[in-house]
């Protein structure tokens, strides 16, 4: 146990931090002066091209008569449109995520036999090393589940007989094991937190081989292990929609970047988890849920457009919620007219809201969905359209499923590990160059002054 003073910010640290802040400052106008694309994006949000991938495609524009014209957002997995995937998976199947994981890893949709064998393979990996839960999770609980998940991933390195072998067969084996283990690592980490921090009973359920990833999450998380077919289906759809989103999103780019150094799988995936943890990436749906909680407290009539609109304007003016000037869940770095994942999700969200008695909350979400883009366009100078993104609905879905907020981002990770794995394998298949982007230095050259003369 570290001393209580370990995390204290002393006056000396405060003073040094002021020096750091001065040293770290770079005039934002220099980005325009030198034509540097800040955040590797232009003013329209379009990313700088840094690689080529076969795995997925994200479109928000189409060239028509030589001009880039905004279109409703498109997302393809290995050339298959996400709408076709979600709408054509059997309605009674909860193994859609497994089917799509196979597609992302191996490039083709599986036959019935291939899918059965793949599900069996994942099930065989859905267990943790002996005493791992006790020694690595229960004895070292964390109040942040992404931290717990990342530590568990790094700890698994020590249980692997060939952790540094980056041949395709070995990396595939490691990735499949992590895909299978992520639900257990996430849920067990939460159960440990519940027990030690909240004083709840410690209940650890073993996964069931016949269950899908979505079903096992609900089974392992809930004390009574029960869930409805609609709940399992909706969580399965959520995993499909979060499984992959092109090579340029922050955590997947991190996977490519770190993998290009030749490091091991556990380090690469832990780095991706660190990226996803950020509130600008995987933690965004938590912000949406908290924003709506604040809205419901401060708006008397949830159906009154003027009152709801006034709250949204207050958000933009930094007068409400966290004073950041943002309407969370509205807008995306790539999409403008629509996010296809949000469009697909909405129909399922409405079904669950009706089944769970959340009709009023769903109506409020729908009202904000309609009003927010209009208000943003009136209040802000924007370079492209804005619309609800997948985070706008995902946190609401997890709330209706009774999932704890601490697991919102880990569930994103449980899905995205499929895409990260495909991208890691793709990056390693090139195995020729480490990624090394350039930075322009604007510091002036100075002559060193001996310490006695300063």
Q: 424 and 255 in contact (C-beta within 8 Å)?
A: yes
Give the CA angle between residues 183, 126, 118 to the nearest 5°.
105
352: exposed, middle or buried (C-beta count within 10 Å: 0-12, 13-18, 19+)? buried
Between 41-50, 222-231, 441-450, the lowest mean confidence (pLDDT) is in 41-50
> What does the pLDDT read at residue 44?
65
Give dist(CA 295, CA 301) in Å, integer. Answer: 10
pLDDT of residue 235: 96
Residues with Cβ within 8 Å of 121's Cβ and at least 6 positions away in sequence, in order, are 176
- Asked if residue 144 has pLDDT above 60, the reply is yes
Averaged pLDDT for residues 332-338: 89
Any long-range contacts for 251-257 (C-beta under 8 Å, 24+ apart)?
251/275, 251/276, 251/281, 251/282, 251/416, 251/420, 252/416, 252/419, 252/420, 252/423, 253/50, 255/420, 255/423, 255/424, 255/427, 256/51, 256/423, 256/424, 256/426, 256/427, 256/435, 257/435
Residue 196 has pLDDT above 60, yes or no: yes
- What pLDDT, on the 0 to 100 scale, is given for residue 425? 96
Cβ–Cβ under 8 Å, residues 383 and 68: no
- The pLDDT score that the predictor gives to residue 91 is 87
The pLDDT score that the predictor gives to residue 430 is: 80
Lowest mean pLDDT among 3-17, 112-126, 344-358: 3-17
Model pLDDT, residue 351: 92
Q: What is the mean pLDDT of residues 212-237?
A: 97
Catalytic, 323? Answer: no
| CA–CA gap between residue 299 and residue 307 (Å, rounded) | 7
- pLDDT tens sequence across 373-403: 999 999 987 777 899 999 999 999 999 999 9
Average pLDDT (110-131) is 97
User: What would the pLDDT profile of 148-165 be if each residue is shown by its tens digit?
Assistant: 999 999 999 999 999 999
214: pLDDT confidence band, cut at 50, 70 and 90? Answer: very high
With a cut of 60, say whether residue 2 has pLDDT above it: no
Question: Assign residue 261 a region: left if phi > 0, alpha if psi is -120 to 50, beta otherwise?
Answer: alpha
Q: Which of 341-355, 390-404, 431-445 has the lowest mean pLDDT?
A: 431-445
For residue range 181-192, what is the model confidence (pLDDT) as tens digits?
999 999 999 999
Q: Contact 192/141 with Cβ under 8 angstroms?
A: yes
Catalytic residue among 236, 264, 339, 391: 391
- Which whole number is the average pLDDT over 95-111? 97
Residues 250-303 have pLDDT tens digits of: 999 999 999 999 999 999 999 999 999 998 899 889 999 999 999 999 999 999
Please tell me the predicted confidence (pLDDT) of residue 4. Answer: 65
User: Which of the four pLDDT bands, split at 50, 70 and 90, describes residue 31?
Assistant: confident
Distances from the Cα of 37 to the Cα of 43, 228, 251, angstroms: 8, 48, 19
Q: DSSP label at 330?
A: B
Q: Give me the sheet containing 56-64, strands edge to edge.
A: 56-64, 67-77, 80-81
Domains of the chain, each with CATH number or no CATH: 75-280+405-430 (1.10.580.10), 284-400 (1.10.230.10)
Active site residue 391: yes
How would residue 3 be classed by pLDDT, with cut points 50, 70 and 90?
low
Residue 32 CA neighbour count, 13 Å, CB half: 4
Express as a percent the part of the chain with pLDDT over 70: 98
343, containing H or E segment: helix 340-356
Query: Which of 435, 414, 399, 365 is CA-nearest to residue 40?
Result: 435
Question: From the candidates 94, 245, 256, 332, which is the catalytic residue?
Answer: 332
Closest CA to 254 of 415, 432, 437: 437
Return phi, psi of residue 70, to 5°. -60, 140
The residue-averaged pLDDT of 57-78 equals 91
Decide: 308 and 368 in contact? Cβ < 8 Å. Answer: yes
């Amino acid at each position: 146990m570290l001393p209580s003073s370990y995390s204290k910010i002393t006056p000396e640290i405060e003073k040094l931090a002021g020096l750091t802040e001065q040293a770290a400052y770079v005039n934002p106008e220099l980005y325009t002066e030198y034509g540097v694309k800040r955040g590797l994006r232009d003013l329209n949000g379009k990313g700088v091209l840094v690689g080529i991938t076969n795995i997925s495609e994200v479109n928000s524009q189409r060239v028509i008569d030589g001009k880039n014209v905004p279109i409703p957002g498109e997302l393809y997995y290995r050339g298959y449109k996400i709408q076709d995937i979600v709408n054509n998976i059997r309605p009674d199947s909860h193994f859609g995520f497994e089917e799509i994981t196979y597609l992302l890893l191996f490039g083709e949709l599986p036959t019935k036999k291939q899918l059965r064998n793949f599900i069996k393979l994942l099930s065989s990996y859905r267990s943790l090393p002996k005493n791992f839960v006790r020694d690595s999770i229960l004895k070292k609980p964390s109040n942040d589940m992404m931290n717990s998940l990342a530590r568990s991933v790094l700890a698994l390195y020590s249980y692997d007989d060939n952790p540094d072998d980056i041949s395709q067969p070995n990396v595939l084996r490691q990735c499949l094991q992590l895909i299978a283990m992520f639900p257990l690592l996430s849920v067990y980490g939460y159960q440990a937190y519940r027990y030690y921090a909240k004083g709840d009973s410690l209940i650890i359920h073993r996964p069931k081989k016949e269950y899908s990833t979505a079903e096992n999450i609900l089974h392992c998380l809930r004390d009574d292990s029960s869930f409805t077919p609609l709940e399992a289906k909706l969580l399965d759809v959520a995993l499909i929609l979060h499984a992959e989103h092109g090579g340029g999103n922050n955590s997947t780019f991190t996977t490519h970047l770190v993998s290009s150094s030749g490091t091991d799988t556990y380090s690469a995936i832990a780095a991706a988890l660190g990226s996803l943890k950020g509130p600008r990436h995987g933690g965004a749906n938590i912000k949406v849920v908290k924003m709506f909680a604040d809205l419901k407290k401060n708006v008397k009539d949830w159906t009154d457009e003027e009152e709801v609109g006034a709250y949204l304007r207050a958000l933009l003016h930094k007068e409400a919620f966290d004073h950041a000037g943002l309407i969370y869940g509205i807008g995306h770095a790539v999409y403008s007219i629509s996010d296809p994942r949000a469009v697909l999700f909405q129909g399922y969200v409405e079904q669950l809201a009706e089944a769970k008695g959340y009709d009023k909350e769903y109506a409020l979400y729908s009202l904000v969905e309609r009003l927010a883009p209009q208000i943003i366009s009136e209040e802000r100078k924007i370079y492209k359209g804005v619309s609800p993104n997948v985070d706008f609905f995902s946190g609401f879905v997890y709330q209706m499923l009774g999932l704890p907020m601490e697991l919102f981002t880990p569930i994103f990770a449980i899905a995205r590990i499929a895409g990260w794995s495909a991208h890691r394998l793709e990056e390693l298949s090139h195995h020729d160059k480490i990624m090394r982007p350039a930075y322009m230095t604007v510091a002036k050259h100075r002559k060193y002054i001996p310490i006695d003369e300063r």
